[in-house]
Amino acid sequence: MKNFSAVILAAGAGTRMKSSLPKVMHKLSGKPLINWVIDAVGALKPDNIVVVLGHKSESVEESLKNKNVKIVYQKQQLGSAHALMQAQKAFKNYKGDILVMCGDVPLVKTSVLSSLLKHSKKNKSSVTVLAAKADDPYGYGRIVKSGGILEKIAEEKDATEQEKLIREVNSGIYCFDNNVWKALSKVKPDNAKKEYYLTDTIEILKKLGKKATSVTVGNAWELMGINDRSQLHEAEKELQKIKIAQLFEKGVSIIDADNTYISYNAQIGQDTVIYPGAFIDTDVKIGKGCTIQGSSYIKNSVIADNVCILYSYINGAKIGTGSKIGPFSHIRPGSVLEEGVKVGNFSETKKTVISKNSKVNHLSYIGDAEIGENVNIGAGTITCNYDGKNKHKTVIASDAFVGSNVNFVAPVKIGKGALIAAGSTITNDIPPGKLAIARARQELKYRKK
């Protein structure tokens, strides 16, 4: 493949989105639109990726900080041609092709981009437009051909009634050779929107005696541009359909696909059953034979095999084989639950390791703790981990039995096999094997009638 660089146009405000967020920062399946585009082209290892930012650029830059991209700015959004012009300074003496993409075409596949580049090379065109056959072409630039040869692109607001009937549309992705810079300098804002249209470069290049072609590859919906919330929703639906089909193929059961949300990068093992209401967000790995029931939300977590999760909220956790979570548990970042652990009704864990076969079954808060194996934490037990300034640790060794409604005033260490009486407030360490009672003695007094 000939050398190429990518330019991603993402300076527009995205007025049709009606949002305080720049359009390309809206998320599709948990990932900002612009990151989808960068990832799709990044897989082809371009020489450079230049991103044109403008409207509220700071928030977009934040989401690109781990990406190997160069950012240029378009201070005033005067149109897509004007946006591309801002990238010219990044390409002094550059001889390769320039793949231009709009930041709002998130579903484009790497393989489609690669076909476009190959097509352009084969045809030796100065511009190759990636086109699609749309069921509803409304809003897109129409591919106007004469005798099968690309003539121009007519934008929705400028197209004649005849041109509006054309269903072949511009995807907003183009491969240019380096005549593009000369063509851009000739674009004029003579159109309904008074903008500098990138699409005008087609006619300009042709007038300069250069070759302009279009190519239709891939499915139309993969090239859909996201301008408003309804299109964003449509794209989500398409991604969901694909994801769910892939999971069925892998032997995952999804009881009601219309009432389940599974992020594009979730990994789920065979014979796991997902019940209605589950929301599996980004960066989740679930093993084999698990049950995810009720309206459970899981994000950024690794769940081993045969785990059962009922109506629970899990984020940033690791959950071991055969564990049972919920109903109504809150498993927060840094929770590591080993094999066969039970965390039950209305219990919360945070930055805590709970070792094999230990139980936190009812109404507890366990934070900044290390809990050994076979520990039973009674109902209503709390680690008092925060003194208003700092967080402190509670360490409970294996085989300890903690009665109900115990407070651990951290830092505190409980020895192996210790027994703690219900209602105790533990402020001092307990040696192994001891029974601790730390509560006021019950008194019985005469009751006046």
Cβ distance to ligand UD1 smaller for residue 74 or 128? 74
- The answer to the question of residue 12 lying near Ca ion (CB under 5 A) is no
Residues 104-123 that bind Ca ion (CB under 5 A): 104
Binding residue for ligand UD1 (CB under 6 A) from 10, 50, 274, 314? 10
Smallest distance, Å, CB 105 to ligand UD1? 6
Binding residue for ligand UD1 (CB under 6 A) from 32, 79, 106, 344? 79
Output the CA–CA distances (angstroms, integers) from residue 188 to 193, 201, 204, in the order listed.
11, 10, 10
Tokens 């393989």 belong to which residue? 111
Structure token pair of residue 246 = 């892939």
- The answer to the question of residue 26 lying near ligand UD1 (CB under 6 A) is no
Residues 31-70 that bind ligand UD1 (CB under 6 A): 52
The site that binds ligand UD1 (CB under 6 A) totals a number of residues, namely 29
Residue 353 binding: pick among ligand UD1, Ca ion, none (C-beta 5-8 Å cut-off by kind): none
Smallest distance, Å, CB 86 to ligand UD1? 8
- The answer to the question of residue 168 lying near ligand UD1 (CB under 6 A) is no
Residues noted as catalytic:
362
Binding residue for ligand UD1 (CB under 6 A) from 128, 179, 199, 323? 199
Measuring CA to CA, which residue among 128, 109, 105, 108 is closest to residue 118? 128
x-or-dash string of contact with ligand UD1, 229-268, rule CB under 6 A: ----------------------------------------
- The answer to the question of residue 137 lying near ligand UD1 (CB under 6 A) is no
- The answer to the question of residue 171 lying near ligand UD1 (CB under 6 A) is yes
Contact 335, 348 (CB under 8 A): no
Smallest distance, Å, CB 142 to Ca ion? 14
Binding residue for ligand UD1 (CB under 6 A) from 6, 11, 99, 217? 11
What are the start-end ranges of the H helices in 43-106?
Answer: 57-63, 80-85
Q: How far apart are CA 392 and CA 384, in angstroms?
A: 8
Smallest distance, Å, CB 282 to ligand UD1? 23
Residues 265-324 that bind ligand UD1 (CB under 6 A): none
Cβ distance to ligand UD1 smaller for residue 138 or 446? 138
Cβ distance to ligand UD1 smaller for residue 103 or 322? 103
SS3 track for 161-191? HHHHCCCEEEEEEEEECCCHHHHHHCCCCCC
Label residue 418 exposed, middle or buried (CB < 10 Å: 0-12, 13-18, 19+): buried
Q: Hey, which bits of 104-239 come out as E strands?
A: 127-133, 142-146, 149-154, 168-176, 212-216
Structure token pair of residue 315 = 């984020």
**Segment interacting with ligand UD1 (CB under 6 A) among 10-18, 39-47, 158-166, 202-210:** 10-18
- The answer to the question of residue 71 lying near ligand UD1 (CB under 6 A) is no
Binding residue for ligand UD1 (CB under 6 A) from 19, 59, 123, 227? 227
Q: How far apart are CA 249 and CA 229, in angstroms?
A: 30
Measuring CA to CA, which residue among 285, 318, 322, 319 is closest to residue 307? 322
Cβ distance to ligand UD1 smaller for residue 216 or 315? 216
- The angle subtended at Cα 49 by Cα 45 and Cα 52, nearest 5°, is 160
Structure token pair of residue 259 = 């009432």
DSSP 8-state symbol, 141 = P
Q: Strand 27-28 vs strand 31-32: parallel, antiparallel, or unpaired? A: antiparallel
- The answer to the question of residue 141 lying near ligand UD1 (CB under 6 A) is yes
Q: What is the largest CA-CA distance in the chain?
A: 109
- The answer to the question of residue 225 lying near Ca ion (CB under 5 A) is yes
Binding residue for ligand UD1 (CB under 6 A) from 80, 213, 260, 293? 80
Q: How far apart are CA 409 and CA 441, in angstroms?
A: 20
Smallest distance, Å, CB 150 to ligand UD1? 13
Label residue 160 exposed, middle or buried (CB < 10 Å: 0-12, 13-18, 19+): exposed
- The answer to the question of residue 367 lying near ligand UD1 (CB under 6 A) is no
**Segment interacting with ligand UD1 (CB under 6 A) among 71-79, 359-367, 396-404, 410-418:** 71-79
Interacting residue ranges for ligand UD1, rule: CB under 6 A: 9-12, 52, 74, 77-80, 82-83, 102-105, 140-141, 153, 155, 169-172, 197-199, 225, 227
